[in-house]
Amino acid sequence: MGMNRRNIDIERRSRRLADGGRGEGPVVYWMSRDQRVGDNWALLLAQQEALIRRKGLLVVFCMIGDYPGATLCHYRFMLRGLQEVRQKLHQLNIGFTLLEKSPEQILPGFLHGIDAHLLIGDFDPLSIKQCWKASLLSELTAPYVEVDTHNIIPAWTVSAQKEYAAYTIRPKIKRLLESFLTDIPAVKHHPFACVPVPATVDFDRLVRNVADQAPVLQTRLPAGEDAALQAAISFVHDKLHTYGALRNNPCVDGQSGLSPYLHFGQLSPQRLAWLVNRSEVSPEAKEPFLEELVVRRELSDNFCLYEPAYDRFAGFPDWARTTLNQHRSDTREYIYSLADLEAGATHESLWNACQLDLVQSGKLHGYLRMYWAKKILEWTVDPETAIDYAITLNDRYSLDGRDPNGYAGIAWAIGGVHDRAWQERPVFGKIRYMNAAGCRRKFDVDGYIASVLKRCRGAAG
Ligand code: FAD
Ligand code: FO1
């Protein structure tokens, strides 16, 4: 790929957030969402600018200890991934430093101190990131450019508004996908040294401490971008061709299992889609997977980017808020507290098995997630409590939690977001209904429950 083709590919995924005075120091990539060296358009843009201006290149990660909903299990997975990032960057003569402070507190001073030439950031629609970005913009002196390297087509390019459903965003994505779904160039060895930045934290000790304290999960998914790419290649080679048929059956391992890698940015969705497209699997077999990976995932980012209330009742569409309001005073046959739900102590054995599975393995099968969240609507006093409990449990226990896919998924299940009105019934109103009987018609519920109990009893030892 010639330099100009490469430049165009890199630059059209970026947007300038602020002008400013370019310092004499290194170009800085503030890494947050996309925690990988390979297939990272933000890093590629940062390197391109550093090469043109003959500057050093530094990657900075600002780690906060109280990321909303995160537990030690999540930090262990993330930090192991960041260890690999640091090592790969070192081999490329690119600097890496982890700052143990919130970005809006530490970045302006840090960048000023090293007289940063330019700041590159990666795109993330979540409100915590929007807050970090807004406060940075008010204090920065260097220019600041944002790159969407989490979506194949940048979220702001796909649509300038909140999309109603998959069928409204799909044509907008399909029209652009051909031109954006390209191969991704590799980062080069960087010829200009970056002034060594005094490490503010003993990174390896931090990783060891977190790893020692975090409870062991059953999934034991190996973290990091090398393992992520291996898992992606194996999925495409071994499971893609049966994905369409098996993906809704929790009793078989028919889904990719790649969401933690995608959530922490250890795997590029573009690389995954590229591998799928290049595989010799039939187009019909590719379609259902690309629909989820590209359309549903980019629809979730669109929802969180353009709906500030993505995690609240106010974010539900009008028809859903109306119908849920009309059924507020319906009798709830069962009411459970957050503690009841967290302990999987309800009257329904399938739901309890789902919750046990989620807690023990840090993951719940995509089909069961829909049923799991909908029952929380049915068994709590009101929809506000339901969305609050569902988000709390999903973010606390799921390795792929704290993600736009989760907020959109829960809003879909409880608030009809991206869905349509269904047959009206108590409590749900016209929100799509799901129950254990419906699951029994789809898969071997008793088999699933038995497998969870066996697996978890084994873990309980
Ligand atoms: P696969 O079926 O193999 O799909 C591959 C990838 O496509 C996924 O990793 C994901 O990035 C994307 N994808 C698949 N289904 C969806 C979907 N419905 N919406 C958006 N993207 C999708 N996904 C998360 O990443 N984090 C969450 O916290 C999360 N919470 C959810 C909560 C509820 C109530 C619901 C209904 C869905 C939720 N999802 C969440 C979406 C989906 O269930 C998961 O992405 C999927 O099950 C992850 O497993 P997988 O990677 O094996 O999926
Ligand atoms: N991003 C950061 O920039 N700093 C953090 O300390 C941080 C912690 C964290 C913990 C758990 C988790 O699931 C995500 C975390 N993230 C952090 C954000 C993550 O990198 C993703 O950007 C978002 O969660 C996805 O939108």
CATH number of the CATH domain containing 383 = 1.10.579.10
282-323 tens-digit pLDDT: 999 999 999 999 999 999 999 999 999 999 999 999 999 999
Q: What is the mean pLDDT of residues 201-209?
A: 88
Q: Is residue 177 part of a domain?
A: no
Pocket test for ligand 2, best of 40, 78, 268, 398 (most atoms within 8 A of CB): 78
Domains identified in the chain, total number = 2
Q: Which letter, b or e, does each residue of 43-58 get, where b requires 16 or more Cβ atoms within 10 Å of its Cβ?
A: bbbbbbbbbeeebbbb
What's the DSSP call for residue 53?
T
Q: Is residue 427 part of a domain?
A: yes
Are the beta carbons of 167 and 38 closer than 8 angstroms?
Answer: no
Whether ligand 1 lies within 6 angstroms of the CB of 410 is answered as yes
Q: Is residue 230 part of a domain?
A: no
436-449 tens-digit pLDDT: 999 999 999 999 99
pLDDT value at residue 457: 77
Q: Is residue 286 part of a domain?
A: no
Domain boundary among 171, 205, 239: 205
Q: Is residue 200 part of a domain?
A: yes
Distances (CA, A) of 216 to 84, 164, 251, 261, 345: 21, 40, 23, 18, 22
Q: Which letter, b or e, does each residue of 97-110 get, where b requires 16 or more Cβ atoms within 10 Å of its Cβ?
A: bbbebbbbeebbeb
> DSSP labels for 194-250?
-PPPPPSS-HHHHHHHHHHHSPPPSS-PPPSHHHHHHHHHHHHHHTHHHHHHHTT-T
Both 31 and 148 in a single domain?
Answer: yes
The structure's pTM equals: 0.97
341-395 tens-digit pLDDT: 999 999 999 999 999 999 999 999 999 999 999 999 999 999 999 999 999 999 9
Whether 142 has a pLDDT exceeding 50, the answer reads yes
Collapsed DSSP state (helix, strand, coil) of residue 293:
helix
Q: Judge residue 112's burial from the number of C-beta atoms within 10 Å of its C-beta, 0-12 exposed, 13-18 middle, 19 or more buried.
A: middle
Whether ligand 1 lies within 6 angstroms of the CB of 406 is answered as yes
Both 334 and 200 in a single domain?
Answer: no
In degrees, rounded to 5, the angle at the alpha carbon of residue 333 between the alpha carbons of residues 328 and 337 is 80
Whether 3 has a pLDDT exceeding 80, the answer reads no
Chain position carrying tokens 């980019």: 298
Both 149 and 20 in a single domain?
Answer: yes
Q: Is residue 354 part of a domain?
A: yes
Q: Which residues line ligand 2 (CB under 6 A)?
A: 32-33, 62-64, 67, 70, 74, 78, 124, 126, 264, 402-404
Both 40 and 189 in a single domain?
Answer: yes
Atom of ligand 1 nearest to the CA of 258: 51
Who's near 253: CB < 8 A, 6+ residues apart? 239
What is the overall mean pLDDT for the chain? 95
Are the beta carbons of 26 and 194 closer than 8 angstroms?
Answer: yes
**Total length of the chain:** 461
CATH number of 86's domain: 3.40.50.620
Ligand nearest to the CA of 35: 2
Both 201 and 350 in a single domain?
Answer: no
Secondary structure in 3-state letters for 398-414:
CCCCCCHHHHHHHHHHH
Q: Is residue 297 part of a domain?
A: no
Domain that holds residue 73: 3-153+185-205
Distance from C-alpha of 319 to C-alpha of 317, rounded to nearest angstrom: 6
pLDDT value at residue 461: 45
Both 10 and 139 in a single domain?
Answer: yes
Higher pLDDT, 8 or 157: 157
CA 209 to centroid of ligand 1, rounded, Å = 30
Both 196 and 78 in a single domain?
Answer: yes
